[in-house]
Amino acid sequence: MIKPRALQKGDRVAVIAPAGSPDRDHYTQGKRVLEGMGLKVVHGRHVFDEEKDSAAIVEKRVADLHEAFRDPAIRGVFCANGGFGTAKMAPMIDYERIRRHPKIFWGYSDITYLLNAIQKSADLITFHGPMVASDLNDEQRTWETESSFSPLFTKESMIYDSHQSVLHTLSHGTGEGHLVGGNLTLLTNGLGTPYQVDASGAILLIEEVGEPAFLVDLKLTHLKQAGVFNEVQGVVLGNFYSDSDEDYKLREVLQNFFARAPFPVVENFYFGHCQPHYGVPIGGKAKLTTSPPQLVLDAGVM
């Protein structure tokens, strides 16, 4: 697995919008946060484009991605926000170009499709983490979220335990492997495609937002029947944000689904649609334990 180079102050990074154009004010606020880290920020030519022709906008988003990876002055590629449509980009991406020019690629939500496609097809570690406009704006941002970018500079490994959030064990054990996964809906959508998540020998991260409990149960069942859990070494459950009426039902679905799992399962990690929101490397080495509940992640950069 290829590790991208760590960031240094003064590095140039690009912001692209593969899943939809961001709110301009939120983008400006998030850009200012990256600049406060010592980075020089540019955005793709088509970040704010909005077109009714879906084929045309997908081509423009792919062009921004390719340009960011082709430009030797760009050291990292950060996504502006989530949305929809990244699955359409996956077959159009030049993965060999990405492999030849490895650099940090960072996002989550609908970007899950690209995180796993790039990790799988270009053999590059990618990053599931808070995005520029949707998570670093003045309304949403917390200092913990902002600090989760620090390992991109320091090359430090990450230890996530109950100091960050109260973790709950649904199935006991110890598992080691590379981290894969992301948003549940996008993982389900990838089944049967060349970009299907490969969880064999891996620690699988799952998060979701705004889905009723019965759909979460249906999608988990779909993953199970597709064999995704057959050789998984552990499951990390991130945020499953929902309204209060669904929260109890969701807890029940997750507990029942994973209660007899033959691998460790721990929930309530702040990964996904939440604040604070911690970034993690997809494709990097991970170890999940339950006594005490803890996730140890190898540095995603070199």
Residues assigned a catalytic role:
109, 207, 273
Task: Tell me how many degrees the CA angle 272-226-200 measures, rounded to the nearest 5.
Answer: 70
> Within 13 A of 123's CA, how many CA atoms are on the CB side?
7
